[in-house]
A and B are shown apart, each in its own frame.
Chain A
Amino acid sequence: MKKINKVYLVIASIVLMFSIKSNAQIVKAEIRATGLTCSMCSNAINKQLKALPEVTNVETDLNTNTFTVTLKEGNELSPKTFKEKVEKAGFFIGSLVITAKAETISKSPYILVNDKKGVTEVVQFQVVDKGYVTEKEFKKLSKSYKDISTYVANSEDDFHIKILN
Chain B
Amino acid sequence: MRRIIFAFFLITNIATAQIDVGDTIPSIALKSTSNTEVNITSFKGKYVLIDFWASWCGPCRLGNKKLVKLHNEVSSDKIEIIGISIDTDTNKWLKAVEKDKIKFTQLIDSKGFDAETAIQFGVEELPSKFLFNAEGILIAKNPTEEEIIKLIEK
Q: How many residues of A contact B (CB 8 A)?
A: 11
| Secondary structure dominating the interface of A | mixed
Shortest distance from the beta carbon of B72 to any chain A beta carbon, whole Å: 25
B113→A62 contact, CB < 8 A: no
**Chain B CB within 8 A of A43 CB:** yes
Q: Among A41, A44, A60, which residue has its beta carbon within 8 angstroms of that of B57?
A: A41
* Interface residues as binary, A33-72 with B (CB distance below 8 Å gives 1, 0 otherwise): 0000110111110110000000000001010000000000
B124→A38 contact, CB < 8 A: no
B125→A43 contact, CB < 8 A: yes
**Chain A CB within 8 A of B58 CB:** yes
Shortest distance from the beta carbon of B51 to any chain A beta carbon, whole Å: 13
Bound: A82/B112 CA distance, A:
22
Bound: A44/B113 CA distance, A:
10
* Interface residues as binary, A57-93 with B (CB distance below 8 Å gives 1, 0 otherwise): 0001010000000000000000000000000000000
Bound: A62/B113 CA distance, A:
13
B56→A62 contact, CB < 8 A: yes
**Chain A CB within 8 A of B148 CB:** no
In the complex, which residue of chain A has the Cβ closest to the Cβ of B123? A43
Q: Among A41, A46, A47, which residue has its beta carbon within 8 angstroms of that of B126?
A: A41
A43→B57 contact, CB < 8 A: no
Bound: A38/B55 CA distance, A:
13
Interchain residue pairs with CB less than 8 A apart (27): A37-B59, A38-B57, A38-B58, A38-B59, A38-B126, A40-B56, A40-B57, A41-B54, A41-B57, A41-B58, A41-B59, A41-B60, A41-B126, A41-B127, A42-B124, A42-B125, A42-B126, A43-B113, A43-B123, A43-B124, A43-B125, A44-B124, A44-B125, A46-B113, A47-B124, A60-B112, A62-B56
